[in-house]
Structure 1
Amino acid sequence: MRFFIAFLILVLSSGQMTAQKEKQRIQWVNGTVLNAEQQPVKRAIIYLDSVKTKIKTNKKGQFKIGLKASNKTISAYAWNYGIVTEVYQGDNGMLLVFPESESVVSEEELQELGFETKVKRAKKEPKDYSQYLTMYQLIATEIPGARVNGTTIQLVPVNSVQAGQDPLIIVDGTPVSSLEFIFPREVASVRVLRDDAASFYGSRGANGVLLIRMKN
């Protein structure tokens, strides 16, 4: 009896996982955008469920986009034609045709109609530096051109390196004098500014700048 119950739970779990995977599966759709004269509309911006994407039509008015089963509508926006929207029916091809109309809407007016006109950027996951024991080990390994001798750091090439002086170190916008109390596992990113890029910090950036961002 216990074996049967365990088997039943396994089957149900497997069915749920399969259904979830089906729901998340991407359907690639090829679309075409035309004007009222059946001519292709190039550089039309594609909106998915009223949210702006980075996708634009080519010179033939064609585009390709990946959709999930949860997606409902596809829209095309052109500054000289306005906006046209079609309901996604699950097909792998779509045709969007602008109607004959003299009313053209701007992107500001699209916002008033409920469209999101700014592309949402995917949040970049912080890098994992937990394999390093110290920041000096991290910098020596991860930063090209960094020379580390004990707790002394030199960034090369830097046009005006002053012997015996470390680069300017800035952690979350605040200059610090030491890396002794910063743990690599808590660091989200490390970036280097050299030469002209470091000139923003004046003489303090003469030996380069280490910009460190910590995880929240």
Structure 2
Amino acid sequence: MKKIKKIIFALLLVVNYTNAQTTLTGKILNYKNKPVQGAVMYLDSVETKVVSNKLGEFSLVVPENVKNIKVHSKKYGWLSSAYAKETKMDFMYLAPAPSEDKLVTPPNGLKPEKDKNTVSYRTIYDMIRGRIAGVVVQPDNTIIIRGINSIKNNAEPLFIVDGNVVSSIDFIVPNEVKSITVLKDAEASIYGSRGASGVLVIKLKNE
């Protein structure tokens, strides 16, 4: 009888452990929307044996209590995203590999290292206000990208900071900014409906 109870208990533990796990699938793409092969998946800061295939696809078993999913590519570097028990998650590198990075900031952007006044700005909004063509920062710090062919042209753009989607850029200190790039219409179409009001891509200094 005791042996049967032990077997039942062991089976319950296996069932509970399995239920606490989630299988996460997705793709890893580069800035040209092409698959990234060989990228290593991390659970928080723990390396797994899972790598993306030639289509950029991965399948990862995620235990309970994992807070972040990270990706590392030898060519493109790191990406990280908060994890909330999703079953599908795609990652995209928003800049070329260092060897390909000939133009980080196109004309419709801002490169602060060339601006001697960068350290004097109190907020990221002061830094952007009136300094990037087509970008309007309203008194309440709402950002609008002009010239958007969308019914949502009064909505804020999608914010991408170092490859990650963020809901706000309040946390950014002006002198930490490496470059700001504005994408709209066709350029922003890779983000689907999320980029309908334009995209503000911010790269921070890795110092």
TM over 0.5: no
The TM-score with structure 2 as length reference comes to 0.42
